[in-house]
Structure 1
């Protein structure tokens, strides 16, 4: 009788799957995650990076009235960094290596800066066309040069990012295609070189996303 009473606590198996701890998992699913999860190391690192970028972008902007504007550039940094890192994995399309992606990020951002600046700070925008201390005879030429350099800014942002992404991936592809025709000794050297290039591409992915975000912040600070 006692054996029958406690037999309900014996381990059971359905479809060769042990489901004895399913009730514990169901309970964890019901409890909100904030009550039992602690921030992971990756989460803490990302929060540290975001805080550092916020402080730096805040200094670059120099306008303490718009305190939430740094979040735009941190989000821009995040999406470019995420796409750059995804492109480092095999058989994954690198979206930031195409102008369709990079120009879509740069052009609306620059266009919104220009529309806002020329509508609200027209005098300030006109003063940027002639640098301080320019001789009067050179002023027409400086206006043309500054206008051209201002117009090509979204193109330079987009081309810089996509060209850097294409260059490293193309070099790794060309070196990798020569592998089947190499000897075993040269193949070891090729693998070592490919690992070094992959490390370099990881650094380039972080640097280019940071450069894109910083230049966008500087362009934004010029309209205030």
Structure 2
């Protein structure tokens, strides 16, 4: 479904990705793991058009999407739920959700999906008219996820969905990610909690300093002594 071939990208003269190749098959949940600064978030930003690739190709269903405008990539079915939630703080919860459907024209479908988001996240219904910036961190994360889903994506990319959340909320967020995948949406997830990410995913890629250094099923990476020692605190 999604394929990166030899993708390099960076920030000015700073190279952040170096010939990264990976693929996401339709219906999969794929995780990107690695230390801070490894290039995980940069990979998602490059896929979604927020960062220009300097070499390589990105294709969706075999069609080139590398360096397309973010609006066009969203229109083709890829939604990006960014690190740090990035809700529009001065807009209401309802207005934030409407922004997720900005490119859609099916009003009946939008209304139906809005109701579905309120059913899935009852707290958002309660806070519908409240400014998003006044929500708790957990509520903002729920809003960011729901906003991404309002575009009806075929592939949704989550960047550190558990970051800064209380343990009880972390489990809730991971359960939501599982449900989204179970409902048929393909998922590409960056997650600092490598143990949870590997337990959750079908396959994973390990990035170090902008390079893919290992890939395999979640179970294979969990069983790797090198991965356990470096990223899982030696846990088995």
For this structure pair, what is the TM-score category when the shorter chain's length is used for normalisation? under 0.3
Whichever of the two has the greater Rg, that structure is: 1
TM-score, normalised via structure 2 length: 0.23
Q: TM-score, normalised by structure 1?
A: 0.23
- The structure that is helix-richer by fraction is 1
Structure showing the higher strand proportion among its residues: 2
